[in-house]
Amino acid sequence: MTEHDPRGARRQQVLAAIQRAAEAPGVSEIATEVGIHLNTARFHLNALEADGVVVRLLSEPTGPGRPRVVYRARGGQALGDTRRYQILAEMLLSHLSASSDGSVAAMAAGRAWGAHLIPRAAPFHQVDRDEAIVRLITMLGDLDFAPEPVADEHQSTSRIRLRHCPFIELAEPHRDLVCALHLGLMKGALAELHAPVTVADLEPFAEPTACLAHLAPSQH
């Protein structure tokens, strides 16, 4: 696994879309400009706002109804500014690791975020196995896991190779927590789709440069 900006190139694209806009854009405009799902755009916008890089505003009312939420880049701030979020993450993970149910809590957090971030299907549309895997791979790609489907002897995707860990610096000392979070993320995403497939197991560093997520039929 190679070193990588933990905020990722995608987050920089979101910021660039805001900076290029003639007027402060909303989530849908940003998602369209970058070519990502609305929930993925919200995920990165929340992180940029927490970093102090962008600010959330209400647009001027143009008629009945609530004003739109829009975003503007904060003057004098950039993604390259000095920050210490890795240390913050290490503090939180260290606190979790001291708990007897830290891995359970990490898995639950991952499930909640997976359900939030997965590109959802249209109402009344039944997602089949292949579509669910495509949607899961799309989400993992947006989060910089560099996912790659791995086919079995029947040419069916049985595993997903994760060629990049966006949290590698944290995964090595806190593997039980970070890997549980990642496994929960994938399980929660597929459960949200009511998919006939789930991630049965995540094999950390199964290959020299990748982890492997093993797929299996879901129980519902």
Per-residue pLDDT tens digits for 35-48: 999 989 999 998 88
Give yes or no for residue 67 having a pLDDT over 90: no
**pLDDT tens sequence across 140-150:** 999 989 999 99
Contacts of 185 (CB under 8 A, 6+ apart): 110, 111, 113, 114, 117, 143
Which pLDDT belongs to residue 17?
93
What span, in angstroms and rounded, lies between the C-alpha atoms of 174 and 15? 30
82 band by pLDDT with thresholds 50, 70 and 90: low
Which pLDDT belongs to residue 81?
53
Q: Which residue has the higher pLDDT, 6 or 103?
A: 103
**pLDDT tens sequence across 112-130:** 999 999 988 888 999 999 9
6 band by pLDDT with thresholds 50, 70 and 90: very low
Which pLDDT belongs to residue 14?
93
Q: Over range 160-188, report the average pLDDT.
A: 91
- Which residue type occupies 167? F
